[in-house]
Each structure stands twice: as C-alpha cells, then as structure tokens.
Amino acid sequence: MEVTRDRAWETLTRYTQSEALRRHALAVEASVGAYAQKLGGDEELWRATALLHDFDYEIHPTLDKHPQDGAAILREEGWPEEVIEAVLSHAEHLVMPRDTPLKRVLFACDELSGFVHACGLVRPTGLDGLEPKSVKKKLKQPSFAAGVHRDEVYAGAELLELELDDHIRNVVAALQPIASELGLRTAADAPA
Ligand SMILES: [Fe+2]
Ligand SMILES: [Fe+2]
C-alpha cells in the first residue's frame, strides 16, 4: 500500500473517537514531521507512523495489548513493517532496539509533545512565548501532567543527542502551527 498520513488518519479515526487521543496523535505527528524535515527522513511515512503509534489505545488501553495487538491489525491492513516496527518500538515495556532515526524520533517526541501540549493548555497565550525554561520547571513538578513519564522525556533528548532546551524548542515550534487543532489559545486570543 502507499503510505500516506491521510490513510493513517483514516485508520486512527476509525479506531479512536476520543478527542484527547486524536489530539495527542496530531501533536506527535507535528513534532515527528518537523524532525523528518530536519533529519532528511521520509516525512509522509514518519507522519503516518506518528499518527498510528497509539491508534489502538482506545480499544487496547492496557499494556498487555497496546500496542502489540494493534500491530496485528496494522499488518492485516497492509501497513509496511517499517511503520509497524516503529509503532511497536515506542512502547518501553516491549524493550525493542531503537535502531532507526524514525524509532528514535518517535520515542523522543511522544511524551514531550504531550507535555508541551499540556503546558500550552494552562497558558492564556498557549504556546506563544513558551520558553524551555518554564517547560523544564513544570517537568520538575510531579503533579503537573502527572501521566507524562519524565524519565522518557529526558531519555528522548539524549537519544536524539540534543540538549533538552533544543528539543523542547523544536517541539514547541512544531506544535505552534496546529495550535487551534490542539485546542490551544494563541497570543491573538489573549486580552490586551
Ligand atoms: Fe503508546
Ligand atoms: Fe503516545
């Protein structure tokens, strides 16, 4: 099959009704897409993989099924192994080697995109003006976006051999153009 982000979106939305999960997929897609451009990856395939990485979470919300049972569905649908292997590799409990740029980028963008998204949701100007410093401060507050695994955020930056500040900046910049799809305000919405 031809791998396109639109086809991935179709698969995602067939299995996922939750707006929060769809937004998570869009956020990770934007970040992974930005890194595809930076690193010379196949942007369409990388975006499709990012959209699909949690596509089965709604039907398989436990780690004995997600994402491994989802992978079987993707295989049946004819997605290539390159996509399926990368989807599987995002899961820490499967302990798979992250031996391609796509696998490293997907892992590095998963938790951080969710975290930056959460930071934007509590700011009157959304992501506009959000600096790495304040993201890092919130990372140190365990009660803020408590579901985000901090150790995976730090491990992701390391895996990409990036300073955490640069990784955060890249993710913030990637999410800004889709702020409204993510339900975020922008500076234009803030009272003067
Ligand atoms: Fe996942
Ligand atoms: Fe995810």
Give the residue among 102, 97, 120, 137 at the shortest CA–CA distance from 183.
120
How far are the Cα atoms of 6, 42, 124, 187 from residue 71, in angstroms, in the given order? 19, 21, 39, 40
Q: Indicate the DSSP class of residue 26.
A: H
Q: How far, in Å, from the CA of 158 to the mean position of ligand 1?
A: 20
Q: How many CA atoms lie within 13 A of 28 on its CB side?
A: 29
Query: Percent of the chain at pLDDT above 70?
Result: 99
Q: Cα(157)–Cα(154) distance, rounded to whole angstroms? A: 5
Does the structure show a pLDDT above 70 at 192? no
- The ligand with the least distance to the CA atom of 90 is 1
Ligand nearest to the CA of 156: 2
pTM, rounded to two decimals:
0.97
Does residue 43 have a pLDDT over 90?
Answer: yes
Chain position carrying tokens 């049946």: 76
108-117 pLDDT, tens per residue?
999 999 999 9
Distance (Å) from CA 148 to ligand 2 centroid = 10
Paired tokens of 167: 């990784």
pLDDT digits (tens, 9 = 90+) for 119-159: 999 999 999 999 999 999 999 999 999 999 999 999 999 99
Angle (nearest 5°) at CA 106 between 170 and 111: 70
Mean pLDDT of the chain: 97
- Using the 8-state DSSP alphabet, how is residue 148 labeled? S
Q: Which ligand is nearest to the CA of 50?
A: 2
Ligand 1 center from residue 154 Cα (angstroms): 17
